[in-house]
């Protein structure tokens, strides 16, 4: 990974950003969470949109962009009825419970994948953004700003493990 200057801005939507690449949900970073192995952060975010364990597992194994496409079909339904089911619990989107679930899943991604963890730790003192050059969709189950905020919370938690 490259040496960062203090004013370096990390764009997690830019595959050419060596740090942002490992923070992206689309990068293959296998991890397990509550009994399911996910191919990437994106496969996790998309899998939790589905109601049954069988459906969730079928999305969990997909590569990031394929998981995104599979989840897009479910997003329209969620815009009409904004609830997911995880481990038998019905959770409303955009609530503390929902974001806590996303946080817990992504925390496992960074704890279990050394390259992703190293990239996140290297991002300290740098702004993290999500800018893919397109406007954010009107209905996004993980708004870009919230995704970045969750990454920063995870980073702070991981950094606290290294403080004396």
At residue 15, the pLDDT reads 86
Question: Alpha-carbon distance 101 to 123, whole Å?
Answer: 23
Q: Residues 99, 100, 101, CA angle at the centre, nearest 5°?
A: 90
CATH code of the region 9-160: 1.10.357.40
Pairing of strands 127-129, 28-33: unpaired
The arithmetic mean of pLDDT across residues 4-23, rounded, is 86
Bridge partner list, 83: 92
Give dist(CA 103, CA 85) in Å, integer. Answer: 16
The mean pLDDT value for 28-39 works out to: 98
Bridge partners of 85?
90
**What would the two tokens of residue 144 be?**
């870009």
Model pTM? Answer: 0.92
Domain range annotation of the chain = 9-160
pLDDT per residue over 44-103, tens digit each?
999 999 999 999 999 999 999 999 999 998 998 999 999 999 999 999 999 999 999 999
């Amino acid at each position: 990974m490259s040496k960062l200057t203090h004013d370096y801005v990390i764009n997690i939507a830019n595959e050419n950003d060596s740090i942002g690449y490992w923070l992206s949900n689309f990068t293959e970073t296998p991890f397990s969470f509550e009994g399911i192995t996910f191919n990437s952060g994106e496969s996790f975010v998309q899998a939790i949109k589905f109601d049954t364990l069988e459906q969730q597992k079928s999305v969990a194994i997909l590569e990031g962009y394929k998981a995104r496409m599979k989840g897009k079909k479910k997003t329209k339904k969620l815009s009409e009825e904004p609830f997911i089911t995880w481990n038998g619990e019905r959770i409303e989107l955009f609530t503390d419970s929902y974001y806590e679930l996303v946080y817990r899943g992504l925390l496992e991604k960074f704890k279990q994948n050394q390259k992703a963890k190293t990239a996140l730790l290297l991002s300290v003192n740098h702004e993290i953004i999500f800018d893919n050059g397109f406007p954010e969709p009107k209905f996004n189950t993980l708004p870009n700003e919230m995704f970045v905020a969750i990454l920063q919370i995870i980073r702070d938690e991981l950094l606290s493990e290294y403080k004396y």
